[in-house]
Structure 1
Amino acid sequence: MNGTWDEQNVPDQRGRVAVVTGANTGLGFETAKVLAEHGATVVLAVRDLQKGKQAAAGIAGDVTVQALDLTSLDSIRSAAESIRAAHPRIDLLINNAGVMYTPKRTTADGFEQQFGTNHLGHFALTGLLLDRLLPVPGSRVVTVSSTGHRIRAAIHFDDLQWERSYNRVAAYGQAKLANLMFTYELQRRLASYGTTIAVAAHPGVSNTELIRNTPAALRIPVSWLAPVLTQTPAMGALPTLRAATDPNVTGGQYYGPGNRSQTRGFPKPVTSSPASHDQAIQQRLWTISEELTGVTFPLAPRT
C-alpha cells in the first residue's frame, strides 16, 4: 500500500449496515458516501432532516435518513428505537457528529454543549444500539476524536459542565479527550466478546464547517492558511474509513493522517496523549457518563 491507503482500499461492504452520525455534511457525508458506494446500507443520522435528505440525494446506494439530535437524550432514545426497529443487525456505528469551540451553551438536558454533544450523546447512542452490534462478527464502533484532545485537555470531574467558568478551547479538549477515553474503555469491556471492536480516528486539520466557531483571533489566520494547512473533507474522512473497514484494524487503535504533525496525509495508526490512557480516569468517566445519561451498556462490568 506504500502508505497511501485511500477509498480504493475499502473492501466490499455489501450486506453490512452502517450508522453514521452527522452525515449530512463534511466528514460524515464523505464517510457515508464511500461506504454506500462500496455496497453498505447506510443510515444518515442527522439533526436536520431536510439537509439529511439533500445529502442522501447526493449519494449513490442504499441510504436512509434518521432524525438524531445529540443534544437531547429524548431524541437519542427515539432515534435508537427507530434504528433498532429497522435494522436487526448493525455492522458499523460511526460516532462522527460534533461541535467545536461553541460559545457557552447547554443541551436540552443541561450538559455543556461540547461535552454533551461530542461525548455524552454518542455514549448514550452507542449504549442503546450496542446489542445490535454484539452478535455481528467484525462489527465496529468508530468514534471520531481530534488532535484537540491534547490542547488544554483534562476531564474536569469537579466541574464537568463548566458551570464555574468556561473556556471554549479547553471544553473542546475535554470532550475530544473523553471520546478517546470512551473508546479505550469500551474496547476493554468488549474484549471478552470477541465480535465487536472499538476504534478511534481523527481527521487532522480538515476544511469543514466545524471551524465556524473558531475564536475570532484565529479565524483570519486560519482562513488565510487553510489551503496550506488543511485537507479536503474527503481526505479527512479516510482515517475514519480505515478504522471502520480495514481488515487489519484491531480494537483500541487510533487512526489519523500520516504526516509528522498528524494534520494531513493518508491514514495510519497514530498515538494519542498519555492522559488519554489513564485507565482509572477512563473508568470513572464511564461510570459518570452512565449516571448522567441513564444509559447502561449491555456488557459485563470490567474486572
Structure 2
Amino acid sequence: MSVSDQVPTQSGFHAKSSGAEVLADIDLAGKTAIVTGGYSGIGLETVRGLAGKGASVIVPVRTPEKAKDALAGVDGNVTTAPMDLADLASVSSFVGDVLNAHMRLDLLINNAGIMACPEARVGPGWESQFGVNHMGHFALTTGLMPLLRKTQGARVVALSSTAHKVSDILWDDINYENSPYDKWQAYGQAKTANALFANALSLRLKDAGGLAFSVHPGGIFTPLQRHLPQEEMIALGWLEENGEPSELAKQGFKTPEQGCSTTLWAATSAKLEGKPGVYCEDADIAAPTDPESPTARYFGVDAHACSDENAERLWEISERFLKAA
C-alpha cells in the first residue's frame, strides 16, 4: 500500500466515539485475542471491550500484582501470562505457551509501549523505545505467525501515533550508536516502525486471509506519560501552570474509553476488508497529511509511514536484528 490508499471510509464514528459504540453490533464469542499492555490506560479499555463482547482475552503481564488489581473489575474471560517485551527470552516463552495451549488467534493487539524515556538499552543493545515498541512486538508477532495464519480472518493491530511525523526510520543509526540520543525522535522512529510493520505484516498474512493495521489512538492522559516531567507537559501545552489539563487538552484529548475506539474499530470493522496495512485514526482510515492544514502535526499520515519499500526494508532489518540477538 501507499499513501494513496489512505482513503477514509466514512465509518460513521468520530474522534470522541467510545469503544462501546464501535462494538455495539459486534459479537466476538468464540474468538481469542491477545492485548499487550492490557492492564493500564487504553489497553485496559481494549481488554474490557473485547471481553465484554465474548472474546477470550490473554493479557501478557510484566507486573502480575498490578495486572491482577487492574483486571479485577473486567467482566468476561480474561487470563494473564508473564511476558516482558524488553526480554526476548520471556517473549519466546510466552509464544511457546500460547502455541501449545490455543488452536486459534483471531486478534493480536500490539498496544504496549514506552514514550520519551531516558536513553536505555534492551535486548542485545537496541535503543529501548525501538526495542520495546517495535522489536519486542516483532518477536511476539512473528513467533505467533503459525497461529495467526491458521485462523481465518485473523487481524493484527499495531499501536502507532501521530508522533510518526517526528521521524522516519533512522536507517543509518537506528540504535543511536553514532549520534546523540533524542527521546522524541526515538519515539517518532518507533511509531513509524509500528506503522511500517503493519504494512509489511499484511503482505505476509494475505494468502491466509489475515489483515494488519496501525492506529493512532489520539492524545490521552495515561501512564505512557510517566517519563515526562510536569514542566515539559506544560511546555507542550498539555497542562496549565497549576497542573490541570489545558484547554487544548480538554478539547483535543480523549478519555481512555474513547482512546481504545480506533483499536477496536481496526480489529473488527468490515469496512477494512480488502484494505491491508492502512493507518487509522478516529475510528476510520486516516487521510494523508495535509501540509497546508494548521492541524497537520496532529492529524493524517505522512508518506514515509505508508511506503511499501520502507516497510520491506524495515522488516528485513528487524529479521536480521532478531536473528543476531
**What is the TM-score normalised by the length of structure 2?**
0.83
CA distance in 1, matches of 2:251, 2:221: 11
> Corresponding residue for 2:71?
56
**1:252 is aligned to 2:277:** yes
CA distance in 2, matches of 1:73, 1:256: 30
Among residues 223, 243, 266, which one is paired with 1:209 in the alignment? Answer: 223
SS in 2 for 1:43: strand
**1:273 is aligned to 2:302:** yes
Contact 1:206 1:232 in 2 (8 A): yes
Matches of residues 88-237 of structure 1 in structure 2 within 5 Å? 88-151=103-166, 153-164=167-178, 165-193=180-208, 195-214=209-228, 217-220=231-234, 221-224=237-240, 225=246, 226-237=249-260
Q: CA deviation at 1:288?
A: 1.0
Q: What letter matches 1:74 in structure 2?
A: A
Moved over 4 A (4+): none
> Corresponding residue for 1:3?
13
Q: CA deviation at 1:294?
A: 2.4
Q: CA deviation at 1:217?
A: 4.9
SS in 1 for 2:54: coil
Give unmatched runs, 5+ long, in structure 1.
258-266, 296-303
SS in 2 for 1:199: strand
Among residues 273, 283, 303, which one is paired with 2:312 in the alignment? Answer: 283
Among residues 92, 100, 117, which one is paired with 1:77 in the alignment? Answer: 92
SS in 2 for 1:222: coil
Q: RMSD of aligned C-alpha atoms? A: 1.7
Q: What letter matches 1:282 in structure 2?
A: A
SS in 1 for 2:121: coil
Among residues 261, 279, 292, which one is paired with 2:321 in the alignment? Answer: 292
Q: Which has the higher contact order (CA 8 A, sep 6+)?
A: 2
Q: What letter matches 1:106 in structure 2?
A: R
CA distance in 1, matches of 2:74, 2:101: 20
CA distance in 2, matches of 1:21, 1:9: 20
> How many residue pairs align between the two structures?
284
Q: What letter matches 2:323 in structure 1?
A: G
SS in 2 for 1:23: coil
Q: CA deviation at 1:12?
A: 0.6
Q: CA deviation at 1:95?
A: 0.3
SS in 2 for 1:158: coil
Contact 2:123 2:131 in 1 (8 A): no
Q: What letter matches 1:3 in structure 2?
A: F
CA distance in 1, matches of 2:13, 2:78: 31
> Corresponding residue for 1:12?
27
Give unmatched runs, 5+ long, in structure 2.
1-10, 241-245, 288-300
Q: What letter matches 1:233 in structure 2?
A: P
Contact 1:101 1:215 in 2 (8 A): no
SS in 2 for 1:143: strand
| Cα deviation code 1:124-156 (max 9, x no counterpart) | 1000011111121221011010000001x0211
**1:37 is aligned to 2:57:** no
CA distance in 2, matches of 1:155, 1:2: 33
| Cα deviation code 1:216-241 (max 9, x no counterpart) | 65322322323333110110100000
CA distance in 1, matches of 2:76, 2:146: 26
| Cα deviation code 1:237-290 (max 9, x no counterpart) | 000000001122232222212xxxxxxxxx221032111123222212111101
Q: CA deviation at 1:215?
A: 6.0
Contact 1:73 1:293 in 2 (8 A): no
